[in-house]
Amino acid sequence: MALKDKVVLITGGNSGIGEAVTRRFIQEGAKVSIIGRSIETLKKMKAEFGEEILINQGDVSKYEDNEKAVQATVKQFGKLDVLVANAGVFDGFAKFADVTPDALSEAYDFLLNINVKGSFFGAKAALEELQKSNGNIIFTVSGASFYPDGGGVWYTASKHAQIGLMRQLAFELAPNIRVNAVAPGGTLTALSVIPPLRPFVKVVDNDTKASSIKKRNPLQLAQLPEDHVAAYVLLASDEARAITGEVISSDGGLSVRGLG
């Protein structure tokens, strides 16, 4: 029960890695509030976990939705200890040269509003409550935060931006708030390609996707959302009280891939 009595707000906590983190945090004793767009999946989570969870339908690219979720969390559970800024969307490896200028611009607004602006807004909305609790923030970044070809230019740029945000916040918010990140590698989730780029992307089945992911990392793992959750538990817990401004890479060893 590493997170007993902790109160956590997770954006995108109703699907993919966010859902896996939500489930594990509840197992570890936390009270969890989640933000998501799909009311159907939110209601399923509520039916499963009851009083252990609070659901908030919202769009992280809108500041007011982040603010409402923070306020609802504090009203329900009395405080906020941890923000997991996890919500994100993907560009499907769309190639820059193939995309029309109009689609390029629309994709930029769509993807960076969620991946980057959503991270800014979540942190800002949670800031006052996290200062009260000496809490912490965890961003979900990516192998694409460090290396090319973890996505297209939109996704890669957004994940690099999140690293800059995380490090600057870790500097500015110390000593009261710790700020860290988890960088998953290629993971088998239902993450879909954003609408503006779908005409420029070839859809592949899960077997093909798994094979591609295995070839990219030395451990030859087609990772599942559950493979990453322990890193979030560590960073959210008091055991990590001396850790800030750091990224835990959960990617099968991408950094030691070499030239092979």
Label residues 99-129 b or e (16+ Cβ within 10 Å = b): beeebbebbbebbbbbbbbbbbbbbebbbeb
Q: Quick check: 152 and 95 in contact, CB under 8 A?
A: yes
Out of 63, 108, 147, 155, pick the active-site residue: 155
d(CA 154, CA 164): 16
Q: Which of 31, 36, 66, 34 lies closest to 52, judged by CA?
A: 31
Q: Report the helix count and the strand count for the chain, using DSSP H and E.
A: 8, 7
The closest alpha carbon to 139, from 156, 110, 159, belongs to 159
CA within 13 Å, CB half, 18 = 29
CA-to-CA distance for 2 and 134, rounded, in angstroms?
17
Asked if 155 is an active-site residue, the reply is yes
Active site residues: 155
